[in-house]
Amino acid sequence: MPCVPAIIVHGGAGKWSSAPSDRREAARRALMESAEAGLQIMEKGGTSVEAIVEAISHMESSGVFNSGRGSVANSDGFVEMDAGLMDGETLDSGAVASLRGIENPIRVALLVMKKTPHVILSGEGARRFALSNGFSEDPFLLSKRDQVSHRLVSRSEWRGDTVGAAAVDQLCHTAAGASTGGISGKMPGRIGDSPVPGAGFYANHFAAAAATGIGELILILGISRKIVEEATLLGSVKLSGKSLLEYTRSKFKDDTFGVIGIDIRGEYAAIYNTESMPYAYFKKGMESPLVGGFPAL
């Protein structure tokens, strides 16, 4: 039975009330545009994998979020990005970690999935793979930042604006992906949850999810796989979202993470224990994307 194509994108769990209103507005616009771009692909017969790559690339290129052109710097002042994705139908996955200088890490992750026998390429190997496949370097992303936070800021202080997406297409195939500059002031070489299947993203025959927040915690609890597998057992990503929130309450402090999920019934979940986690959900038949998760002002 065919499914109704739907996509959900997020702009990071964190504290958006301290962001200036023009930045919040730019984020709202970029989220809506990304959801629209992703859904449009699926309406034309494209796959959920193509949809999430398009949606995430749009957010990476917008410079509004902590991913792609908007990535934060590590403690040396350089940008090192993580991104990954998974195809819920084939269970294939591809990712890049600590990648430097490339505007759309999610597109490199897609090629890792399609063209290599590996799941994750990191650092110089990932960069060389990207360059040999026609990607060019962005001098802005390679340049050293002057103002660098040399301490890891707490979740409520930092710009939590990693991006992620989860989608289901008309063949009922799901996909999910994530892309980030990581944590501001992180140690050079640090890898978070975003390029790790099961942690930063996960997808199977029923549901797909993408996480955001403190990568170290998301990695250890395998948040994306947890919500997807529970959704598969319960038959609803909404229900598994609720139970994940209860579970993490007993394990995590507040202000640590968020996750979006979608299932083949077109249900979605957007849960977070941070102040906010802006998201946009768009399903075929809706007039415009539903935007939520911004702080009430």
Q: Which stretches of the chain bind ligand ASP, using CB under 6 A?
A: 12, 160, 162, 180, 182-183, 192-194, 212-215, 218
Residue tagged active-site, from 47, 162, 174, 274: 162
Which residue do the tokens 């102040």 mark? 275
- Choose among 92, 129, 94, 127: nearest CA to 109: 94
- Amino acid 224 reads S
**Minimum distance from residue 182 beta carbon to ligand ASP (Å):** 4
The token pair at 62 is 């917008």
The token pair at 13 is 């769990």
**Minimum distance from residue 206 beta carbon to ligand ASP (Å):** 24
Q: Which is nearer to ligand ASP, 172 or 218 (CB)?
A: 218
**Minimum distance from residue 237 beta carbon to ligand ASP (Å):** 19
CB contact at 8 A, 95 and 84: yes
* Catalytic residue status for 90: no
Beta bridge pairs of residue 178: 84, 164
Q: What gap in Å lies between CA 169 and CA 88, rounded to an integer? A: 11
Q: Which is nearer to ligand ASP, 180 or 204 (CB)?
A: 180
Q: What are phi and psi of 2, to 5 degrees?
A: -70, 155
Q: Which is nearer to ligand ASP, 50 or 60 (CB)?
A: 60
CB contact at 8 A, 83 and 179: yes
Q: Which is nearer to ligand ASP, 16 or 282 (CB)?
A: 16
Instruction: Give burial (CB, 10 Å; 0-12/13-18/19+) of 83.
Output: buried
269: helix, strand or coil: strand
Q: Which is nearer to ligand ASP, 130 or 214 (CB)?
A: 214
**Minimum distance from residue 86 beta carbon to ligand ASP (Å):** 16
Q: What gap in Å lies between CA 17 and CA 122, rounded to an integer? A: 34
- For the residues of 186-199, what is the DSSP string, one character each? PPTT---STTSBTT
**Minimum distance from residue 213 beta carbon to ligand ASP (Å):** 5
Which sequence positions are flagged as catalytic?
Answer: 162
